[in-house]
Amino acid sequence: MTNAKDKRIKKLKKKRIWPSVFGLLFMLFLFTVIVIAVIASVGLDVFDRKMSDGSNQSAMVAKIYEGYTEESASHINEMVMTYIGLSPEIEAVGLIDSEGKKVWSSHNAYPDTERVTTFELQTFGTNLPMKIVVEEDLEEVFTLEDNEVTVNDDLIEALGLLRVFRDNSIVLGRENSNLVSFKIWFVVPVNQLNVYVLNNISINVQDLFMLLVSVGIFILIILIFTIYYIISFFSVIASMRKTTKIIYTDMVTGGDNWLHFVKKGASLLKRSKRNAKRYAVLHMRMRKYRSFCTCFGVQEGEALIEKLYCTAKKKLKRNELIAYHENAEFGILLTYTDRAQLSSRIEMLEKELSTVLPNMKLYFGIGVCEVKPGERDVETLYNNALIACDLLGEEAELQIAFFDEEMNKQKMWERKVEDEMERALTNKEFKVYLQPKISAKQEILAGAEALVRWIHPVDGFIPPNRFIPIFEQNGFILKLDDYMLEEVARIQAQWISEGRRIVPISVNVSRAHFTREDLAEHICKIVDKYKVPHDVIELELTESAFFDDKKVLLGTVQKLRNFGFIVSMDDFGAGYSSLNSLKELQIDVLKIDADFFRGENVEERGMLIVSEVIDLAKKLNMKIVAEGIESREQVDFLIEQECDLIQGYFFAKPMAIEEFVEKYKN
C-alpha cells in the first residue's frame, strides 16, 4: 500500500475520534473550574459571615466592661457569665490588666499574651482597637513575629483568608472532622483592662447548605454532560469500527480485502517471533478465469470468486488470512511446521477448491514464499510468491512452486532487459548471426538463417534464450523482428553492390505480427527500402501462428508469396502439429524440428516419421530443411531421403557476418 493511501486512512480515523475526545476533556476541565470557583466563593462568604459574628459577640462582651470598677466587678462578671450562657459561640472570657496581671476568667482560661497582635476590626459601625491571640495548637499554621500573625501559604490558598483580613493575612483555625472550627481570642482594651473573649467559630452543614446545593447542581450538570459525551464517544467508536469494516471489506467476496490482508498480515508477522510461529505467503491463481467469464459471464465469474474465497476461508486456522487480489488471484497467509506439512495443506486446499463447481474441475497455480525471521513486508512476500507462480507452466493439474533467490534473480534480469531493450535497439547492440543451410546433394552453401545475438556493452554476449522469451511476453519482439528484417535486407543489398553471390536468408516472423492485416505490405516496405529482390528473403513463421486468427494468417501468407517472398514453416513437429495446417497453408519450405533427431528410438520411430514427412512435403511441392543436425549418420540418412537443405552444428554454428563472409567468400 502506498504511503499516501496509508496516511489518508489514518487521517480518517483520527478525524472522527479526536474531536469527541478533546470535547469531553474540555467539558470536564471547564466544569471542574466552575465547581472550584463556586465552592471558593460560597465558602468564603460563609467564613466572612462567621468571623463577623464572632467579632460582634466579642464587642458586646467588651461593652459590658466599660463601667468596670472593683465595686461592680462581681456584678459585671455575673452579667458576663449570663451572656456566655446565652451565647454558645463564646467559650471563655478573661480579664488582664495593662501590666499583664490576670484579673478574672470565666473558666480559668487565659490566652498566651505573648502571641497577641493588634488590628482594626469594624463592629457596629465603629472602629474598635482589637487584638487577636492564636491558640497554641495552631502553631504549625501560624507564625508570630514582630507582633504580627502570618499564615502558611497552603492554607491561604485552600481557604482564601485574604478576603477576611484585608490588610493582615491571618488564619485563625483549622478543619475539624467534616466541619471547619476556629477558636479565636478577640482582645478588646477597655479602660485599664484588656478583655479577652474566646470564640468557638464553627461552620456546620446548615451553614454550607447553599454551597452543597450549588455544588450538587453543578455536579449533576457535569454528570449529564459527561454521560452525553461518553455516549457520543462510544458512538464515534462504533461508527469508526463500521467505517473500518467498510474500508477492509472486499466488494467481490464480501470478506476481508487486500488492505486488511496487508495490514493484519504485517501485524501477525511482527508477533510471529514472539509466538515462535512460522508463516508462508501464498499466491493462488485460478487458471483460465477469463475463459470461464467468456463462457458463463462476468457475474458468474464473480460468484465463483466469492465461492472460492468462502471455501478457502473455512479451511484456515486462527491467525491465518486470505484475501482476494484480482483476476481470480488470492493472497493467503498460512502457518506451518515444515515444508512437507505446508505442501500437504496446500494440496488439500487445492483439492477442495477444484471441486467447488459440480461437473467442472478447476485448476490452480500456487506460488509459495516462506517467511524468514524479521520479514514483515507482506506485499513484497506476496510478490515473491507471485514470481514463483509466474515461472510455472500451464500443463500440470496442480503445480506448487516455492520461491527462491534464483527466481528473484530471474525477475531482476527481466526488469534489466526491459529497462535496456530500447537503448540496445537504438545503439544496434542486437547483432545478426548467420547459420548456414547446406545443400544435401552437393554439400555446399545454399542458404542461411538469421539469428539474433545481444552484445551488451557491460555484460558481453547474451544468448537469445535469455531475452527472446521476455520480448515475446512484452511485445518488443515486433520491433526486434522489424530490425532483423531490415538488417538482413541491408546486408543483402551490400553484398549485391559488392558483386558477391548471395543465397536466400530466412528471417523469423513472430506470431504476434499476424494480428495486423497489412503485415505483407509492412514487410515489403522494409525490404524495398534497400531494393533487394524479394526471392532472397525467406520469412519463417511458426506453426503455432496457425492457431490464432487463421483467416488473417492465410491471407497474409498468400500476399507474401504473391510479392515474391519465400515462406517457410519453422519447427514443424515441435508442438501439436496438424496436417490440416499443411493442407490450408500455401508455403514453400517446411523445416523439420530438431527433436526428431534426438532422444531414444531415433533410429527407428524418429527416422520413420522424418522419412514420411519428407515424402509428404515432396508431394506438396515443398522444399525440406532439417535443422539441428549434429552427426554424419544423420546427414547420410537425410541425403538418402532426398532432403533439400541441412542446418546444424555438424556443418556450422551461427556466426557473425564477418566470419560468415570470410568462410564462404569463394
- Cα angle 425, 499, 533 (rounded to 5 degrees) comes to 60
pLDDT confidence of residue 293? 87
- 493 or 139: whose pLDDT is higher? 493
pLDDT, one tens digit per residue, over 407-433 is: 778 878 888 999 999 999 999 999 999
**Exposed/middle/buried for residue 478 (C-beta within 10 Å: 0-12, 13-18, 19+):** middle
Bigger pLDDT: 462 vs 86? 462
Quick one: pLDDT at residue 38? 74
Give mean pLDDT, residues 351-368. 88
In which residue are the cell numbers 450562657 written? 85
Within 10 angstroms of residue 432's Cβ, the number of other Cβ atoms is: 21
The arithmetic mean of pLDDT across residues 113-129, rounded, is 47
**What is the spatial distance between Cα 185 and Cα 188, in angstroms, rounded to a whole number?**
10
d(CA 589, CA 570): 9
At 161 the pLDDT is 38
**Which whole number is the average pLDDT over 332-355?**
91
Answer yes or no: are the C-beta atoms of 457 and 429 closer than 8 Å: yes
Kindly state the cell numbers that stand for 474.
512484452
Judge contact between 50 and 211, C-beta under 8 A. no
Hey, how many other C-beta atoms are within 10 angstroms of the C-beta on 192?
10
Query: Taking the complete model, does pTM exceed 0.75, yes or no?
Result: no
Percent of the chain predicted with pLDDT > 90: 27
Count CB neighbours of 109 within 10 A.
13
Q: Looking at residue 457, what is its pLDDT?
A: 92
- Cα distances from 147 to residues 120, 136, 166, in angstroms, run 14, 16, 17
Parallel/antiparallel/unpaired status of strands 623-627 and 645-647:
parallel
pLDDT in tens, 207-224: 667 667 777 777 787 778
Predicted confidence at residue 530, as pLDDT, reads: 93
pLDDT exceeds cutoff 90 at 135: no
Q: Is 221 exposed, middle or buried (0-12, 13-18, 19+ CB in 10 A)?
A: middle
What structural domains and CATH numbers belong to the chain? 3-211 (no CATH), 258-403 (3.30.70.270), 422-663 (3.20.20.450)
- Could you please report the per-residue DSSP string of 193-216? EEEEEEEEEEE-TTTTHHHHHHHH
Give the torsion sign (CA, 619, 621, 627, 630).
positive
What DSSP string describes 254-305? Answer: SSB-HHHHHHHHHHHHHHHHHHT-EEEEEEEEETTHHHHHHHH-HHHHHHHH
Do 282 and 366 form a contact (C-beta atoms < 8 A)? Answer: yes
* Centroid of chain to Cα 365: 26
Average pLDDT over residues 640-662: 91
Distance CA 331, CA 321 (A): 8
Give the pLDDT of residue 120: 41
Q: Is the pLDDT of residue 575 over 60?
A: no
Give the pLDDT score at 177.
Answer: 40
What does pLDDT average to over the chain?
Answer: 80
Alpha helices (H) in 127-208, listed in sequence order? 153-159
Instruction: Name the band, by pLDDT with cuts 50, 70 and 90, for residue 174.
Output: very low
pLDDT at 178 over 80: no
- Rounded Cα–Cα distance for residues 506 and 443 (Å): 19
Name the DSSP letter for residue 621: T
How large is the greatest C-alpha to C-alpha distance in the chain, in angstroms? Answer: 172
Under 8 Å between Cβ of 522 and 560:
no
pLDDT in tens, 516-556: 888 899 999 999 999 999 999 999 987 666 656 677 788 88
> Of 546, 611, 621, 624, which is closest to residue 579 (Cα–Cα)?
546
Residue identified by cell 515475446 is: 472
